[in-house]
Chains A and B, each alone.
Chain A
Amino acid sequence: MTAQTVAIIDYGSGNLHSALKAFERAAREAGLDGTRIALTADPEAVAAADRIVLPGVGAYADCRAGLDAVPGMVEAMTDAVSRDGKPFLGICVGMQLLASRGLEYAETSGLGWIPGDVGPIRPSDPALKVPHMGWNTLLPARSHALFEGIPTGEGGLHAYFVHSFALTPERPEDTVMRAEYGGPVTAAVARDNVAGTQFHPEKSQRLGLALIANFLRWRP
């Protein structure tokens, strides 16, 4: 494996520490020794990276404001993704930010890379609690390199979710995985070199480390 750098974007949100450690361990366990992972708030470092990760824990509007508060960051991300075709992974609110807009607290524009809205989860069974919190299985909508070798379906491995809002892509083919929670909840999306997971790979033990390793090897 040739050397590569991964930029985890630090925009004042998210559990960056555990994301960093999970990526380091996944790279080590996958034998990707040339992989260098950096937390960065520097758009130039994002522009120079081979792969980009946008984590996100928090409220949608607050995360969007945090991203906009770093001068040049959205531009650097957009160039890297749209012009240079670099692999990009959004996690939780980082995935939701890929959408056209978020409807949490206030209507907020997203990046628009995966057209669709982020709205509240409304399980059909009123006994089901919101947030959708805990370990759920993943139901494949289509195959994708990020999930290669990972057992999915009811008997598969579990992913850790904690969210009250979910992205509904406009284009059905952008959905890669769903979870069942009083109706389908989008669990993973992808289009071209852009992917996102609603669940937290950095908190999902075996499934999470395997997915991160797949991302580090992904050649979209």
Chain B
Amino acid sequence: MLKTRIIPCLDVKDGRVVKGVRFEGLRDAGDPVEAAKAYDAAGADELCFLDITASREARGTLLDVVSRTAEACFMPLTVGGGVRAVEDVRALLLAGADKVAINTAAVKDPDLVARAAEKFGAQCIVVAIDAKRVSALGEPGRWEIFTHGGRDPTGIDAIAFARLVAEKGAGELLVTSMDRDGTRSGYDLGLTRAISDAVGVPVIASGGVGGLDDLVAGVAQGGASAVLAASIFHFGQATIGEAKAHMAAAGLAMRLDAPAEPRL
């Protein structure tokens, strides 16, 4: 039986983890490779790096991080941030990424998704959708795509965009609520559900996790196939094991294999 995935997400800037990770026994909390190893050992189902490096020149640093992570962690790795062309996808896959997330570039040119999927297969192309609710309270939900970290509105309806990129060949959608991101008030379940119901590909819920019940709700109410979180894991509020046990107790199918030996 296929299990629900828990995906810790690390924001990486110039080769370093930005929010910081407080793990016991971690030699260097700012090194994404060390953090990845800790999550690997803890039994995370996948790992996500989002590169928020502003400059194009620092791209080599990210590739090095991906490559060193792939050497040490035998688990799936999604990498996003700054992917603008098929060549960027190729470079990340060759460095060791298993899936590549495309965000702004897919909004500007949805055919990039088609070109990348045809070249590398739909299974490794993730489209990251950042959306904000634009409907008033009490109205049926309506969400709009925002780019550049939620700053720039596009006028594009999030559900229609999700359908479009899934048709173009996205193998998975990473759906982040810009209203909830960083608020710890839970996923925007209306958004997650609306997109999950609209497409046939898996949806990852993202943005706003404050506690373990939010992870359960992302799947049970949001219809997500996987749940992504950052802070609650980075700052030691919950371990991956606790999150899995909590979700399993709520009736979700989780992978509870004993984790690999830690290799820190």
- On A, residues with C-beta under 8 Å from B are 15-18, 21-22, 25, 57-59, 62, 93, 104-105, 128-137, 154, 157-158, 160-164, 179-181, 200, 202-209
CB-nearest residue of chain B relative to A136?
B2
A130 CB, nearest partner CB in chain B, Å: 6
Known: A15-B96, A130-B201, A135-B2. 9 other contacts (CB 8 A): A18-B70, A21-B74, A57-B121, A132-B2, A134-B3, A134-B46, A164-B171, A181-B2, A205-B257
Task: List the B side residues contacting A209 at CB < 8 Å.
Answer: 74
Give the complex CA separation of A185 and B175 in angstroms: 28
Task: Return the chain B residue nearest A62 by Cβ.
Answer: B119
Cβ of B118 and Cβ of A17 under 8 Å apart? no
Return B3 CB to nearest CB of chain A, in Å. Answer: 5
Q: Please, which residues of chain B bring their CB within 8 A of the CB of A204? A: 74
Whether the Cβ atoms of A18 and B74 lie closer than 8 Å is yes
B123–A105 CB distance below 8 A: no
Cβ contact of B260, chosen from A129, A137, A163, A205, cutoff 8 A: A205
Using a Cβ cutoff of 8 Å, how many contacts connect chains A and B?
125
Closest to A22 in B: B74
Number of interface residues of B (CB under 8 A): 42
Chain B, range 80-96, C-beta contacts under 8 Å to A? 93-96
Contact A58 B121 (CB under 8 A): yes
Q: List 24 A-B contacts (CB under 8 A).
A: A15-B98, A17-B67, A18-B71, A57-B98, A57-B123, A58-B121, A58-B124, A62-B120, A93-B121, A128-B2, A129-B201, A129-B202, A131-B172, A134-B225, A135-B5, A136-B2, A158-B257, A161-B2, A162-B99, A164-B123, A202-B74, A203-B75, A205-B40, A206-B257
